Structure 1
Amino acid sequence: MQLEITVKQAVGLKHDGRHCVEFLLDNHAPQRTRWVDDFYDTQGLVVQPKNFQSSRCTITLKADKSAYKDSFLHLALFHQRNIRDDKRAAEAHLPFSGMTNGFKGWVGLEHKDKYGGKLYIEANLKEAAPAPAPPRPKAAAPVLDDAELAEQQAILASIQASQRRSQSGQALPARQSSQNSIQSQSQSPASATAPSWPWPDSTSTSQQAAPRPPSWPDWPGSAAAAAALPPSTPSAREPEAEVILPDWLPWPRFRAALQAGRREALSLSSRLPAFSGEPKPTGRRKALLIGVNYPGTSAQLRNGINDVERVAAVLGRLGFPEEWMLKLTDDALPPEAAPTKSNCIAAMQWLTHNVAPGDVLFFHFSGHATQDDAEGSDALCPSDFMEAGFISSEKVYETLMRGLPAHVRLTMLLDCCIPCLCPELPLLYDVEQDRWVVGSSASSSADVVCFSAAGSDMTMEELHQLRMAEHGFVTSAFLQAMQHLAQQRKGPVTYQELVSEASQHLRPFAHRALQLSVTQMFDPNVRTFRFFDAIKSKVR
């Protein structure tokens, strides 16, 4: 078993500056969290309470938990006075027996019999995460079927096309207002056909498409791609029954029904379809993109809306229909498109409404994050957070993940000024050690993949640089990594390669690495990155 300890925040510390926490259990080697620096507000004052950014330590028990019933966990807070001098600032002891069923709360610290502040920690006993399957030899490429290879190549081809256009000096397609986007949802049909390769360039005045390279297949699911597939061999397999999927509601109709209290109108219009064997992709894709700049406040940013437009452009070229791509930004004219707390929560419900196995979802948030003092967990900041409050990690999990059925793919991209684990997923990938680390106890039957910033020590200068940036660091690193990998080769890219490449782009800035967290375990060295696949739920 493993004892996992998470440090959330601290108050009343005697010293400002860098701190870390060391945990020592009887007959085990001491384990330390990463060093965490102070955060500063716009007036240059230290932000209180101190955010430890959910720093984690994991202690693998050498015996059954019953052998530790009389043991104590020793906590020591260290303060870094200079680069070569660490000082023990305060300490505390917790009985192991008090953590066997989980512990969450404040722990008082002492230093020379005097009050030394307090830490908010969470401690849980968990079964050790099974080791992932051994990686394939690096010389061997992942084995993919035709549709999988076509989809991955189409993703990389889209990024390459965007880069070629930017290098040639052409502008990106003009940004459409959120009001036009919402109106198109009301007028557009409920489904759209995914485009085939090559996609037309909306900035070009020519109506003639570029010649088709023979090595690039059509987008999976298009008519040309289906015609290009080899004929299937005769078999005694019975014809498949038609699957009737529950209807999706456009955002204006969904929001109106939600405000009117017509909960029955938002329930599943039919039971989830029954599948014999694994369900096939439905071809349905829906995205929610939230960008908040907080104009006119001390928390003002410049990147939130720009990030939404960049991500929307990529998703549009990957087959996400515009009528099922909802953008909430604080420059929007209609109130239903503003990223308020109520709108954000309702939009999350819209994203997962009537989702069926085989559907594909995408969630993007670019804005501020914080720690919710009441919950002790990370939280997202909507545009009206000063009046309405934050959106906690628990709320994001309950709204986006809990009710998702198996074989649904949800990709999340979080770009926040403070590294944010919202929601906290069961497994975190340590790219340096190339291993999974047990995260939260939350679970989901769906295949949820989240990209965010890993914890970092951020100086006041770096925080100011982030707030003045025109594009978010995490969003830029994620897209730049895909562009760079597309330049290197035309083929599949594993999750490990994508995370490593994006981390390289993040290191010159405040964040040090890209954090990958998931709900289903897989080998990042083998599984290829795609927006549209979903792996089976595994019982760990």
Structure 2
Amino acid sequence: MMLLVNCSNCHTPLQLPPGATSIRCAICQAITYLTTQPSLYNHVQPASAHGQKRAVIIGISYKYSKNELKGCINDAKNMKYLLTNKFKFPESSILMLTEEETDPYKIPTKYNMRLALYWLVLGCQPGDSLVFHYSGHGSRQINYSGDEVDGYDETLCPLDYKTQGMIVDDEINATIVRPLPRGVKLHAILDSCYSGTILDLPFLCRMSQSGHYSWEDHRPKSGVWKGSNGGEVFCISACDDHQKSDDTTVLSKVASTGVMTFCFIQAIERGHASTYGSLLSSMRNVIRNPTGRGYKKGGDGVATSLLALLTGGSLDSELSQEPQLTVCEPFDVYAKPFFL
């Protein structure tokens, strides 16, 4: 069984081969020696049977900070309920990271989030179904490599982002997308701002209000392949790369939730998610619809945008949040069945 250890210098998670006591980091070249207290995830056996389901669910509220969000932990709990009850994910195969966890390895710090993502894909085999759900702050930063269409890298904000930094889309892609072999399926469900291309997948589905769609090419000009190693990857994100997502009580009428997570779960529960196209259309219609149980801007909506909060900005009442779908290879979204 492979062990995961963090590089002693740059803290990048590394896979230590069986029997090895040290490893050299390919990024910074530092040598890391096996400690006597390896991480919790080192003891998790990789998948050994075909058809295994595994999920990482992360909800971060940033409690007691000026950037606090009210609905993210609710999102995490709701997603876990959906996976276990609707899609029959074993509870033991779901790793939850929230501030409410008592295990220190399950607090959503940058270190723990990185290890959780490595654990998600570790030892995956054909027939496996993997899910990554994140609800929390998202941000973006200038891209200097030239491989982003809009010139920005999208990021996720761990609980300790102020001291440890954010997790950039390039790292997420390298960790959970590119290693996936043929026969493995991954769904990433990201409820955060600027998350349209957060997995750096090659193709984005541009869908009009009438439901017509086309595939937008996001492959880097450098020619570097940022898709998988044959596996299927679907990223359903809260909004486009330039948009903000919301955290609100308007939809549930009871508790705060992320707009995107609520619409995603509702579409599935109401039978509106038979295909990827119907799922995406249903989610967008709930957000657009001002007369039904749709989401209206204003009220107690709080943007899950780190940039807006740090700059003291407010949610633009004219800005519409449009969930996005990105994938490795284009397909007919109204013909391909959706299932986790």
TM-score by length of 2: 0.69
- Equivalent AA in structure 2 for residue 264 of structure 1: P
Which letter maps to 1:517?
A: T
Q: Label 1:440 to 1:298 Cα distance change in 2 as closer, same or farther (>3 A).
A: farther
Alignment partner of 1:321 out of 59, 84, 90: 90
Contact 1:360 1:408 in 2 (8 A): yes
SS in 1 for 2:84: helix
Aligned length, in residue pairs: 264
- For 2:270, the aligned partner's letter is H
2:232 corresponds to 1:447: yes
Which of residues 524, 531, 534 in structure 1 aligns to 2:333? 524
The alignment status of 1:301 with 2:87, answered yes or no, reads: no
Alignment-mate amino acid for residue 73 of structure 2: I
Aligned partners of 1:372, 1:263: CA distance in 2, in Å? 31
Higher relative contact order (CA 8 A, sep 6+): 2
Report how far residue 505 of structure 1 moved.
1.3
Out of 310, 314, 322, the residue aligned to residue 78 of structure 2 is 310
Matched, 1:422 2:198: yes
Give 2:111's aligned residue: 342
1:398 aligns with 2:174: yes
Residue 311 of structure 2 corresponds to none
Between the aligned partners of 1:344 and 1:395, the Cα distance in structure 2 is 12
2:193–2:239 Cα contact (<8 Å) kept: no
> Which residue identity lines up with residue 17 of structure 2 in the other structure?
E
1:475 aligned counterpart, secondary structure: helix
Aligned counterpart for 1:481 among listed residues 267, 289, 292: 267
User: Cα deviations across residues 359-383 of structure 1 (Å, max 9, x unaligned)?
Assistant: 1100000000001246531100000
Deviations 1:228-268 (A, max 9, x none): xxxxxxxxxxxxxxxxxxx7x9xxxx66x6699871247xx
Partner amino acid, structure 2, of 1:485: G
Stretch moving more, 504-513 or 319-328: 504-513
Structure 2 CA distance, aligned partners of 1:391 and 1:406? 26
- The separation in 1 between residues aligned to 2:167 and 2:250, in whole angstroms, is 21
- Taking a change above 3 Å as real, the CA distance of residues 440 and 361 of structure 1, as seen in their structure-2 partners, is same
CA contact (8 A) 2:196 2:241 kept: no
Aligned-residue sequence identity (percent) comes to 28
Coordinate RMSD, CA, aligned: 3.3
- For 1:485, what is the secondary structure of its paired residue? coil
* Separation in structure 2 between the aligned mates of residue 285 and residue 326 of structure 1, nearest angstrom: 12
Aligned partners of 1:427 and 1:519 also within 8 Å: yes
Partner Cα separation in structure 1 for residue 249 and residue 328 of structure 2:
30
Q: How has the CA–CA distance of structure 1 residues 341 and 374 changed in structure 2, closer, same or farther, with 3 Å as cutoff?
A: farther
Q: Distance in 2 between matches of 1:437 and 1:313?
A: 34
Structure 1 regions of 5+ residues with no counterpart? 1-246, 274-280, 487-491, 532-540
Q: Provide the secondary structure at the position in 2 that maps to 1:308.
A: helix
Letter in 2 for 1:483: E
Query: 2:101: which partner in 1?
Result: 332
Q: Which has the larger radius of gyration?
A: 1
Alignment of 1:452-467 (within 5 A): 452-455=237-240
Choose which of 278, 283, 294 in structure 2 pairs with 1:502.
Answer: 283
What is the distance in 2 between the residues matched to 1:336 and 1:463? 28
Alpha-carbon distance in structure 2 between the residues aligned to 1:509 and 1:446: 38
Assess, with a 3 A threshold, how the Cα gap between structure 1 residues 354 and 258 changes in structure 2: closer, same or farther. farther
* Unpaired stretches in structure 2, ≥5 consecutive residues: 9-13, 19-41, 145-151, 221-225, 289-294, 298-319
C-alpha distance in 2 between matches for 1:315 and 1:501: 19
Q: Distance in 2 between matches of 1:440 and 1:500?
A: 25
Q: Which runs of 4+ in 1 moved over 4 A?
A: 257-262, 456-459, 462-469
In structure 1, what is the Cα distance between the partners aligned to 2:247 and 2:115? 32
Distance (Å, rounded) in 1 between the aligned partners of 2:199 and 2:15: 28
Q: What is the rounded CA distance, in whole Å, between the counterparts of 1:258 and 1:354 in structure 2?
A: 18
Q: Is residue 2:181 matched to residue 1:386?
A: no
